[in-house]
Amino acid sequence: MLRPRPAGPFAGLLAAAALTAGCGTSPDAAPRPDPRHETRVERTPTPSAGPRSSTPPEQETEQETEPAPEPDPDPEPDPEPEPGTVPPPWLGTRVLPETATGYGAVRPTPRVLRERRFTLPDAVPALPGDGYASRVVNPPPADVLARSTWEPACPVAAEDLAWLRVAFRGFEGDRHTGELLVAADAADDLAGVFGDLWRAGFPLEQLTITPRSALDAPPTGDGNGTGAFVCRPVTGGTSYSEHAYGRAVDVNPFQNPYLRDLPAGRVVLPELASAYLDRDDVRPGMVTPDGPVVRAFARIGWAWGGDYRSLKDYQHFSATGG
């Protein structure tokens, strides 16, 4: 999760669409016959008595009309989506006031986000295949680096980073593709970590590279992008974070928030994620001490922020534990 400075985390992204369909009778269709008269018989009158005519009288005619078809039954309406499975239209737009902590005000979690289970659109084209796949490019392409927070003053050289693309499972169970910037010498290990999460069926909302614009974005408290490299200091400090070296990954920040009690007040990041501070109420996307995410990162020697003592950073994994 992005915590560039005491201005709150990055804003959430919104991409949702809904389609409705219906059927009816075309305004140009012919009117239906009156159902009370399924058969109509038309007769010509009998000629009156008088001199015979050489012209034979008209023959009786009879015309039958097909019965009106029964109207089709109304189609079943589309079921309402379950709460939490569709992004709310206000996602990423409601700016929170800042508090004495320097971060956004902590607010109760909106009902639609108390069990958050939607997946945002992928930022990159899908990797080939229908199973797990990964791609590592070192150094990152110039256009990829340009849309990140990297600059020459960062503590890591561009050639020491790698562009990592991986397949992952969304909350709806579908296959998605995401991207990260990571330390080049950790890229293969991290590709293995996300392979473990794929095989475990662990869902992610979005894997994306943090853009420079996010560093100064006002807090909305509802972001949830899984990310790695961000050229920024540690939360509440001045020294560089492990994220600034590409050696830290934050996993589903909303389901796994950061928590710290300061003299000026409580800090929860993202600020709307307080419902997920109850770690006994396990919901999809949450990291648990004995779950697949902790095991996958432990396999490559990375530590979990949920084990910190002075604060809790349930989303955070890093090479040094910092």
pTM over 0.75: yes
Task: List 64's β-bridge partners, or say none.
Answer: 39
Reported as a single tens digit per residue, the pLDDT across 195-232 is 999 999 999 999 999 999 999 999 999 999 999 999 98
Neighbours of 241 (CB within 10 A): 22
For residues 188 and 79, the model is more confident at 188
pLDDT of the residue at 6:
47
> Which residues of 145-225 form beta strands (DSSP E)?
161-169, 175-183
Q: Tokens 């004495």, residue?
A: 100
Give the 3-state secondary structure of 112-168.
Answer: HHCCCCCCCCCCCCCCCCCCCCEEEECCCCHHHHHCCCCCCCCCCCHHHEEEEEEEE
Averaged pLDDT for residues 298-319: 97
Mean pLDDT check: name the lowest of 78-82, 110-114, 215-219, 264-268. Answer: 78-82
The mean pLDDT value for 84-108 works out to 97
pLDDT of residue 75: 65
In whole numbers, what is the pLDDT of the chain averaged over residues?
Answer: 84
- Does 285 have pLDDT greater than 50? yes
Query: What pLDDT is stored for residue 295 in this prediction?
Result: 98
